[in-house]
Chain A
């Protein structure tokens, strides 16, 4: 079999067919008004909507804003989460004297802090960044603590046998062993940061994809709205894919942050 044929075989034809069928059924239902929804655009109407957004130069700045805020917030959150997680994971006293506090705080759905930050920071970029950083810290923190504390006892025994200093033990053994789990946390944080950035834009900061989405809804422009929702979804998929391939490229295979898949 030639490589070209194999490539054809690799495509998920039934999957694409089902997706096409869904789109076709949707299109037909709207065309022949089988569905009684006033504001449901046909898939064929969404594409021109997206095109006008692109040509009018409205889509790119909004997407760029959301991407930038997400990435900045995510980097800050990862740094805080890893630093705090290492501290709590490596220092039993710190863990004992603070873990319940973290558990209680973590139980509060971060979404409820959106109105509070709105109150404190007003309709501003700062408000959006604070929310994005806050929500991103949690998975990184929890996974870093879990990774550090979950290091196999055998490894620690090896360290003892080699008479490693505490510094060496942390640097050469515990942190590398914890990296796969930390990467899972960092990956989960990325998608959470994106979602909360969109939410913060919808409620607070008047910029980015979230705000444009709400504007399109209020202006009763469903084609635009669907185009923005699609772009938010594409952003999520892209972030995840880029992160995975970057992680696989930078780190050897077992450390690339697979698994632990809940959104």
Chain B
């Protein structure tokens, strides 16, 4: 009596696993991965269990650290530092500034990246003509662009957004380009036989077909945009979470530095979570979800 087999595409290859309860598989696979791989139970216990080393580290830190330490203040002091920042309004202002730059930068990068990716993906000639320029621009490290941007544009929001956009655009552009190349020829044939105009064809056929690719690009670009926003703030001391961290470091307030690192982590988790929710909403009718290869 063979167990029914189910196929699962992961990393572009088909993995066939036996879709049975854990019992027979424990014999089948002796290394203990069977349960996680096959039943995929969504309980919280295993995930919380995984937090153990972090919790232990923080507890040891709390017990061993002295509150006055200039390098490793215990976690309990982070909380009071955070409350202090919250009460004088600096925290809210910084978070709002960081999120604003991030959203505008990622938004512009999405629109520009999708349009450029559409052009480059649609025409092999344009692709060949533009690729050296793109490769060259992509190779410039965003961190090194910051001094140039400040010298040219000055210390303001435009400069922040420009740097973030320049860093975030490539993932979206490349994913859109790949998406355009993958579009099913039948879809384009259908559009032709329906005699759709250019606008109609883009709006009704190409854009919906490209949405998963663009979204995948945004998923990749979002963490980059967060990092670059913080980087610009750390380097230029313009308002934001990054600037607040740098300022706390320069004024030797280690508890604040650690507290703000936690805030930055929470921000990036939040961004990821929001994108995940948006993704599952936008693609709620698609059985396969957006391409989650990476």
Contact = CB atoms under 8 A, between A and B. Distances in A.
Nearest to A230: B140
A116 B258 contact: yes
Nearest to B241: A112
A109 to B, nearest CB: 5
A149 B16 CA distance: 15
Interface in B255-275: 257-258, 260-262, 264-265, 268-269, 272
A62 to B, nearest CB: 13
A202 B150 contact: no
A222 B150 CA distance: 11
Interface in A90-138: 92-93, 96-105, 107-116, 118-120
Interface residues of B, number: 78
Nearest to A198: B143
Nearest to B50: A100
A37 B150 CA distance: 11
Given A97-B53, A111-B234, A225-B147, A18 B261 contact: no
Given A17-B129, A237-B139, A104 B151 contact: no
A220 B231 CA distance: 21
Interface residues of A, number: 70
Given A108-B268, A152-B15, A262-B171, A15 B128 contact: yes
Interface of A: 12, 14-19, 22, 37, 39-40, 92-93, 96-105, 107-116, 118-120, 149-150, 152-154, 156, 160, 194-195, 198-199, 202-203, 209-210, 213-214, 216-217, 220, 222, 225-226, 228-229, 232-234, 236-237, 260-263
Given A120-B72, A232-B140, A233-B136, 10 more contacts: A15-B128, A15-B131, A15-B132, A92-B31, A100-B51, A108-B265, A112-B261, A116-B254, A160-B30, A263-B138
29 contacts: A15-B133, A18-B133, A100-B47, A101-B52, A102-B50, A104-B265, A108-B261, A108-B268, A109-B268, A110-B227, A111-B231, A112-B234, A112-B265, A115-B248, A115-B257, A116-B257, A149-B33, A154-B16, A195-B141, A222-B148, A229-B145, A233-B140, A234-B139, A236-B139, A237-B139, A260-B294, A263-B138, A263-B170, A263-B224
